Amino acid sequence: MPIQNVPEVFLNQDTPKPEILVYDFKMSNDVFKTKVNLSQHMFSFLQNGRKEIHFADSSVMVDMGQSLLVKKGNWLWSEMLVENSDLYYCKLLFFSDKQLRNFLDKTCIKKRPSRRSEAYFIIENDLYIHSYLNSLSAINSSATTRAHDMNSVKLEELLLYLLNKYDKKFEDYLFSLISPHTSDFSRVIEQNIFANLKIEELAFLCHMSLSTFKRHFFNEYGVAPGKYFQDQRLQRAKAILEEGKLKSTDIYLDFGYKNLSNFSAAFKKKFGYSPNQLKKP
């Protein structure tokens, strides 16, 4: 699957990337695990549908009751329709590091070392958020030479509101957006052992080519990534089956197998007996 450069993909080819961009994203079908190179920080205001984002060491899913602020980086996006609806709609607000630094300088928030934080911040929608989105839509629905200036003011308004609502927690998150953090390779791997991601998807999240990822993985673990993940997942599957509460038919999909026969064959090759022969309490 090709990588989507966002928000560049939403701009005309000759249009320079603005410091702030408001975009109404709509689609009529489900899309799973799109590789996205997000070059600016992004507010995601879901209007209709569900959204899931996989980060290097975590994932988050939101519905229409929540919004997200997402840090720039390489992520996997899944965007899904809800039942009895044929439209996915999400209002996106992108902004640059420059805009954020200007805001932090203007509000005289004292800069301090940022601890490592999540790549996202969940916002619980409320009356203000709904009112804010209506005003944002009104500004950008008509052509005006002052749209950028007005969007800049609207961004500051939103950030101030969230600082008031979430206080130090949101302040810390804002500073983490402009503080570079390097993901620890082994931590990313351990967090995603059971995430059912493909090797190339993990490589993308680690900002590596597939060949570099495989080489780095072998140097770190002494085994190819495919074998390592299969062994770890089969060990976990065995532990679950030994508890006696679930059967192979209940879990094989969760461990990345498309059908029961493939799971049973891999299980027998690993342990020398089939899941049905497993001794249970």
pLDDT tens-place string over residues 8-59: 999 987 778 899 999 999 999 999 999 999 999 999 999 999 999 999 889 9
Same-domain check for residues 111 and 197: no
Task: Identify whether residues 46 and 125 lie together within a single domain.
Answer: yes
Predicted local confidence at residue 184, as pLDDT: 75
Judgement on whether residues 152 and 245 belong to the same structural domain of the protein: no
Q: How confident is the model at residue 202 (pLDDT cuts 50, 70, 90)?
A: very high
Same domain (yes/no): 130, 196: no
Please write the tens of the pLDDT for every residue from 75-97.
Answer: 999 999 998 899 999 999 999 99
The answer on 151 and 225 residing in a single domain is no
More confident site: 214 or 1: 214
Residues 165 and 201 in one domain: no
58 and 141 in a single domain? The answer is yes
Report whether pLDDT(180) > 70.
no
Residue-level pLDDT at 115:
59
Task: Band the pLDDT of 182: cuts 50, 70, 90.
Answer: low
Q: Do residues 33 and 165 both lie within one domain? A: yes
> What is residue 256's predicted lDDT score, i.e. its pLDDT?
83
Note whether 66 and 201 are same-domain residues: no
Residue 116 has pLDDT above 80, yes or no: no
DSSP per-residue codes, the chain: -PPEEETGGGS-TTPPPPSEEEEEEEESS-EEEEEEEE-SEEEEEEEESEEEEE-SS-EEEE-TTEEEEE-SEEEEEEEEPPTT---EEEEEEEE-HHHHHHHHHHTTPPP-PPPP--SEEEEE--HHHHHHHHHHHHHHSS--TTHHHHHHHHHHHHHHHHHHHHTHHHHHHHHHHTS--PPPHHHHHHHTTTS---HHHHHHHTT--HHHHHHHHHHHHSS-HHHHHHHHHHHHHHHHHHTTSS-HHHHGGGGT-SSHHHHHHHHHHHHSS-GGG----
DSSP letter at 142?
Answer: S
* 177, 199, 224 - which closes a domain: 177
CB distance 206 to 182 below 8 Å:
no
Provide the CATH number for the domain around residue 72.
2.60.120.810
Does 54 share its domain with 160? yes
Nearest Cα to 208, choosing from 230, 182, 229, 227?
A: 182
Domain boundary among 136, 161, 177: 177
Please indicate, yes or no, whether residues 193 and 169 belong to a single structural domain of this protein. Answer: no
Domain end residue (candidates: 177, 204, 234): 177
Q: What is the CATH number of the domain that holds 269?
A: 1.10.10.60
Q: What domain range includes position 100?
A: 4-177
Same domain, 140 and 244: no
The domain total for the chain is 2
